[in-house]
């Protein structure tokens, strides 16, 4: 890892000059702004947080400095006011690369001193020199750049009401692959907020791994600098272990189905409201099948073709219940996915009662076949079968089919 200080570093900017801009420096950072504004005090806030992030990333998380200090230059941070200053009007909130090949950070006025925003964008600074091709910001690994930055932000501010504002996207379309992102969607996938912001909401999964399932935090980050070709999702599979990770993913899916109960009530309410505010209701597919006080009457049923789970995804079959009875679930998966990858399924049963949710595992006799049974009370409002698709395949949009039979009644038969 590169661990530079500001000793002998030189100021260099592609967006003005020392005579046309105000600038302050500390550690490896230079904060620039248009002189018509005064951001001296704001710069100190930015320095304090970025230095803290830098030390954490370098010494605790196995990450490295951006290329600027090793080239002899400060890492530039620009506070910008849109059309009101001398910087490019199209600048947003995030990291770019200038004409000299050096990364830089742009912070819009209003969020430039936001603690949560600085945690997210500051973390991106130390992803820049990642040497693992499998973790590139493209294709089926693109999701991880944003999800891990969001994870870092919520690690530092776990009780912030907005820490999980995108969490509602998880249950909105759970059939989408873990790695669904900007540019790797399947033909016909919508491109609205519910689908495009999902990679940011995947920090809920990373948070679950580290904060509930006790996966080491450095496992989320150290893969960036191991020079590996594995994607983040396959790296986790290899490092955490196949059975263990499949279990964690399935448990996370069950907890999402019960209303994200690993978050605070305020965070859940905020995430739910965000879906209402900006999500397209036509693109909400939380359940693939729903029933009321009954099973499938001896029939085998399949999810709709467009909602079959993709790789490392899940479906929810929901029964609305108001009486005491027994439900038995039988799962039979197809041997392969739509493009030939070997299928692997797990199942979880979620019961939502008056005292909260309870969870049980479907007993899997092999990767394709399982059974589970619950005795529902009259006060149990919902009984959900969560079918998780967790194959040893970590790319693409292929789907994994299965069929389910649900028996309902005192003897688990219709």
At 324-372, the pLDDT tens digits run 999 999 999 999 999 999 999 999 999 999 989 999 999 999 999 999 9
Tell me the average pLDDT across 196-211: 97
- pLDDT tens per residue, range 137-146: 999 999 999 9
CB proximity list for 269: less than 8 A, separation 6 or greater = none
Question: pLDDT value at position 409?
Answer: 87
3-class DSSP state of 147: helix
- pLDDT tens per residue, range 96-127: 999 999 999 999 999 999 999 999 999 999 99
Nearest to 96 by CA among 118, 77, 119: 77
Question: pLDDT value at position 4?
Answer: 46
Question: pLDDT value at position 108?
Answer: 97
Question: pLDDT value at position 167?
Answer: 97
Model confidence at 2: pLDDT above 50: no
More confident residue, 2 or 353: 353
Model confidence at 9: pLDDT above 70: yes
CATH domain 287-414 topology:
Jelly Rolls (2.60.120)
3-class DSSP state of 189: coil
Question: pLDDT value at position 219?
Answer: 96
- pLDDT tens per residue, range 383-401: 999 999 999 999 999 999 9
Domains of the chain: which residue ranges?
A: 22-129, 287-414
CA-CA distance, 176 to 164, in Å (whole number)?
19
Model confidence at 3: pLDDT above 70: no
Question: pLDDT value at position 268?
Answer: 97
CA-CA distance, 304 to 69, in Å (whole number)?
54
3-class DSSP state of 56: helix
Strand 103-108, strand 382-389: pairing: unpaired
Mean pLDDT, the chain, rounded, equals 95
Question: pLDDT value at position 262?
Answer: 96
Percent of the chain with pLDDT over 90: 95
Q: Note whether 22-129 and 287-414 share their fold.
A: no
- 20: how many CB neighbours lie within 10 A of its CB? 12
CA-CA distance, 185 to 248, in Å (whole number)?
25
Model confidence at 151: pLDDT above 60: yes
Residue 272 belongs to what H/E stretch?
helix 265-278
CA-CA distance, 210 to 104, in Å (whole number)?
30
Tell me the average pLDDT across 274-296: 96
Question: pLDDT value at position 411?
Answer: 63
Tell me the average pLDDT across 242-263: 97
Report whether CATH 3.40.30.160 matches the domain 22-129: yes
Tell me the average pLDDT across 152-181: 97
- 211: how many CB neighbours lie within 10 A of its CB? 15
Tell me the average pLDDT across 67-92: 96
CB proximity list for 300: less than 8 A, separation 6 or greater = 332, 403, 404, 405
Model confidence at 5: pLDDT above 80: no
Question: pLDDT value at position 7?
Answer: 65
Tell me the average pLDDT across 206-218: 97
Question: pLDDT value at position 6?
Answer: 58
Question: pLDDT value at position 298?
Answer: 93
């Amino acid at each position: 890892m590169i661990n530079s200080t500001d000793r002998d570093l030189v100021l260099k900017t592609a967006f003005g000059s020392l005579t046309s801009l105000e600038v302050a420096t500390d550690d490896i950072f230079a904060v620039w702004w248009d002189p018509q504004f005064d951001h001296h005090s704001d710069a100190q806030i930015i320095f304090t947080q970025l230095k803290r992030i830098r030390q954490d990333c370098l010494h605790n998380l196995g990450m490295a400095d951006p290329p600027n200090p090793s080239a002899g230059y400060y890492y530039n941070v620009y506070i910008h006011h849109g059309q009101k200053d001398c910087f490019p009007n199209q600048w947003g909130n995030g990291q770019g690369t200038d004409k000299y090949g050096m990364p830089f950070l742009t912070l819009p006025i209003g969020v430039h001193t936001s603690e949560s925003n600085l945690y997210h964008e500051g973390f991106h600074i130390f992803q820049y020199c990642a040497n693992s091709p499998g973790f590139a910001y493209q294709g089926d690994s693109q999701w991880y750049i944003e999800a891990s930055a969001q994870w870092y932000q919520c690690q530092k501010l776990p009780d912030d009401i907005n820490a999980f504002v995108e969490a509602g996207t998880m249950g909105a379309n759970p059939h989408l692959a873990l790695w669904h992102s900007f540019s790797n969607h399947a033909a016909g996938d919508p491109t609205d907020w519910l689908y495009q912001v999902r990679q940011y909401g995947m920090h809920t999964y990373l948070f679950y791994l580290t904060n509930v399932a006790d996966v080491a935090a450095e496992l989320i980050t150290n893969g960036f600098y191991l020079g590996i070709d594995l994607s983040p999702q396959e790296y986790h599979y290899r490092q955490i272990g196949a059975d263990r990770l499949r279990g964690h993913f399935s448990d996370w899916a069950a907890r999402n189905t019960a209303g994200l109960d690993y978050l605070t009530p305020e965070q859940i309410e905020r995430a739910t409201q965000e879906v209402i505010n900006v999500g397209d209701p036509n693109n909400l597919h939380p359940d693939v099948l729903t029933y009321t006080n009954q099973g499938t009457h001896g029939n085998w049923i399949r999810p709709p073709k467009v909602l079959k789970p993709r790789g490392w995804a899940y479906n929810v079959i929901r029964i609305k219940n108001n009486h005491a009875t027994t439900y038995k679930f039988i799962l039979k998966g197809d041997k392969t996915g739509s493009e030939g990858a070997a299928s692997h399924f797990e199942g979880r049963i979620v019961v939502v009662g008056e005292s909260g949710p309870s969870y049980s595992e479907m007993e899997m006799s092999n990767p394709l076949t399982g059974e589970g049974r619950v005795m529902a009370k009259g006060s149990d409002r919902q009984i959900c079968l969560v079918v998780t698709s967790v194959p040893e395949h970590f790319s693409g949009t292929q789907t994994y089919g299965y069929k389910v039979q649900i028996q309902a009644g005192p003897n688990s038969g219709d």
